[in-house]
Amino acid sequence: MPIYLDENLSEYVAQGLQLLSRAHYRDIEVISTKQDKDLGPGVKDPDLIPIVAKKHGVLITKDIRMRTTMLFQLCQQNKLGIFFLKMPSGKEAHWDIVRVLVEHWEEIVKHTRKEKRPFAFVVKPRGKMEKLS
């Protein structure tokens, strides 16, 4: 089951999460959209969304604005699972993002495996993830 990290997140984070997850979550593959042969760097969201959905993947992105645009409807139409990483101002550094993803990783994997698609969650540095309707 693929979990894609949007290109606004480092491909090294995807590689690290893949290595860390390998022993515990054998059915999960963590991939950077930059490194996927069907996506690659600079892929536009309208192209990315149906490809990730077709691969039965979910998407993690910092592009929280997406949920208020037509792109969110495209996610719904394509039955894509999506996690919006909402970082407070001043806390968008690489290591801050890594900490938040690692802290919520078990829950992200749980929802990736069990949640009926389409779904959307907001992942914040503090507190529980928030499910969007």
Ranking 22-26, 30-34, 56-60 by mean pLDDT, the lowest is: 22-26
Q: Give the full edge-to-edge strand order of the sheet including 58-61.
A: 29-32, 2-5, 58-61, 81-85, 119-123, 130-132
Does residue 106 fall inside a structural domain? yes
Please give the average per-residue pLDDT across 64-76, as a whole number: 84
**Domain carrying residue 26:** 2-125
Does residue 132 fall inside a structural domain? no
Does residue 130 fall inside a structural domain? no
pLDDT above 70 coverage of the chain, percent: 100
Residue 94: band (very low, low, confident or very high) from pLDDT cuts 50, 70, 90? confident
Does residue 10 fall inside a structural domain? yes
Does residue 27 fall inside a structural domain? yes
What was the pLDDT predicted at 50? 96
Does residue 39 fall inside a structural domain? yes
CATH number at residue 41: 3.40.50
H/E segment holding residue 94: helix 94-114
Please give the average per-residue pLDDT across 37-55, as a whole number: 94
